[in-house]
Amino acid sequence: MNIHYLNDYESLSKQAADIVEQEASKKSNLLFCAATGNSPTGMYAEMAKKPSVFGNMTIVKMDEWGIIPLEHPDSCETYIQTHILGPLHIPEARYITFDTASEKVDQECDRMENYIQEQGPMDVIILGLGKNGHIAFNEPGEFLETGFHKNLLEPATIQHDPNLAKGSEPAYGLCIGMQGIMQSKKVIFLITGKGKQEAIQQILERRITTYCPATFLWMHPNVDCLIDMSSLGQ
């Protein structure tokens, strides 16, 4: 893992966008697995300044909340439409998405895993860091799932949105599995935000554990890890 320390979020966002641009210069039709949330928002904003550079990519949605509908303003679907597809002028035909409705979970997981294995590996995958060390919705535990799967979400993951706890069943998410992440050709790992110091410390210790899924990125041969210095709490 190549670790880069950046002074602030703006610097992290610009460098991350530059890395994606470098990859797009080598292959304009990247298969691009997109994270959502605060960590990559600045990067997408930087990319939107050069839509012609990134407009040939195929976007694969990495994960999605269960319980809330896709049209909910807090869904990953809404985020991707707002921050990626629209600004980069990417047509729906080059957007690979899925539904998390409970009656469709098994079918959608199988469909997405088949797509990843048939069309992949991902050329670029963007990852953020959860406060508990998760990547995508691969939560800490005794074991990690290989393929695209449903995962029950930890309290630390859902606490930012009370809507996620209002369903008739425990909050869950669907996400790419560890195999899909580890097979990706290029990982851009963005570490920013408050309350992540413990997870960051575990990563920097270079001890690989299922109780901090992000530590598995040490086994990937091509990871650029960008750390916003303000997230270290120093």
Annotated catalytic residue: which of 132, 138, 145, 151? 132
Residue 63 annotated among the catalytic residues of the structure:
yes
CA dist 19 and 176 (Å) reads 22
Annotated catalytic residue: which of 123, 134, 154, 228? 134
Annotated catalytic residue: which of 63, 108, 113, 154? 63
Query: For residue 34, what are the β-bridge partners?
Result: 61
Residue 134 annotated among the catalytic residues of the structure:
yes
Nearest to 175 by CA among 129, 222, 113: 113
Residue 139 annotated among the catalytic residues of the structure:
yes
At 69, the amino acid letter reads: P
The residue behind tokens 């997981």 is 109
Annotated catalytic residue: which of 108, 139, 145, 228? 139
Q: How many whole angstroms from its chain centre is CA 139?
A: 13
Q: How many whole angstroms from its chain centre is CA 38?
A: 11
Residue 83 annotated among the catalytic residues of the structure:
no
Give catalytic residues, as residue numbers: 63, 132, 134, 139
